[in-house]
Structure formats: structure tokens, C-alpha cells
Amino acid sequence: CKRRYNIKLWKIFTDCFNCLPIAAIVEQTIFCMHGGLSPDLQGLDEIRNLERPMDVPDKGLVCDLLWSDPDEDITGWGDNDRGVSWTFGGDVVREYLEKYGFSLVVRAHQVVEDGYRFFEKRKLVTLFSAPNYCGEFDNAGGVMSVGENLMCSFSILKVSL
């Protein structure tokens, strides 16, 4: 945004993002966020009680909910190659689901080729809605719909060139 337009417009978007919710819970069963899970979350009221707007801190709960990533190759928590937040294994996903009574974690934040990708036996899904991201990836975009019975279905968005 800064490169294509100007810093003023970028600042307006940043101010807007600083007001958006950090996470959402759908029907007490689907936990949604931009990034991923956090080792700092002790209870859901910590998220509910966050005051917005707020700048994103460099570490801690808010940072993790926006920047952490799942990693199929680890158990527990690991360092994130991004240089911020953590990676987490399937065991962490299972612990979260059990502790909070959720059936699914939905997150974004990473380009996935087909628009969505499951992790840990369909207990977490990465959903990425920007097809042909930055004109550099030949990825599809994904949209998830949640039915009245809480069944999730996916639509794929492809760029026509």
C-alpha cells in the first residue's frame, strides 16, 4: 500500500486494522483468528477484554494470535522463522480444542496453493482468500461457509488470465 499509493493511505488502513477484532468464536465451537494459537492464552476472557484500538505488540497474546503458524514437524511450541511469535504442533491444537471445547481452529496468514489446507486431522484449517497473491504465487483463494448445522464447506477462487 505504501509503495503503490502513499503513506497517508497506509496509515488509514493501519488505523482501521487496529480497531478490528483479534479473534472470533462461531457458535462456541469454531475459533478464528488471523495467525494462530498462543502459549500466553490462559482464558478466553483475555481476548474478550482486549481494548481496541491498539497497536500490535512485538510479543505476547495479541502478537501470537496474528502471527503464529502451525508446523507439522514439531511438538509443542517452536521458534518462528518469521522472527516473530511462535510455531506450534498438532498437539497444541488438540490441547486448545479440548481445553476450550472447540471443534475447529480457522486461521489465515499463510499462502496455501488450493485456497485452504487442513492440519492435524482436520482440526485446524488455513484459509487464504487472495488468489494469485501479490502476482507472485499461482495460488487459488479459498472461502469457507459455515452452515446452520456448523458443517463447513469451501469455495475455490481462481484468477482467469
Its pTM surpasses 0.75: yes
Return averaged pLDDT per consecutive 10 residues of the chain, 161 residues in all. 78 91 97 98 96 93 98 98 97 98 98 97 97 90 97 93 67
Report how far residue 76's alpha carbon sits from residue 89's, in angstroms, rounded to the nearest whole number.
Answer: 5
Q: Residue ranges of the domains in the chain?
A: 7-127
Residue 136: the pLDDT is 87
Residue 51: the pLDDT is 92
Residue 90: the pLDDT is 98
Residue 96: the pLDDT is 98
Report how far residue 149's alpha carbon sits from residue 12's, in angstroms, rounded to the nearest whole number.
Answer: 38
Residue 160: the pLDDT is 78
Superfamily name and number for 7-127: Metallo-dependent phosphatases (3.60.21.10)
Residue 1: the pLDDT is 59
Residue 5: the pLDDT is 76
E-state strands within 45-132: 69-70, 77-79, 86-88, 104-107, 116-119, 124-127
Report how far residue 128's alpha carbon sits from residue 75's, in angstroms, rounded to the nearest whole number.
Answer: 24
Strands 104-107 and 124-127: parallel
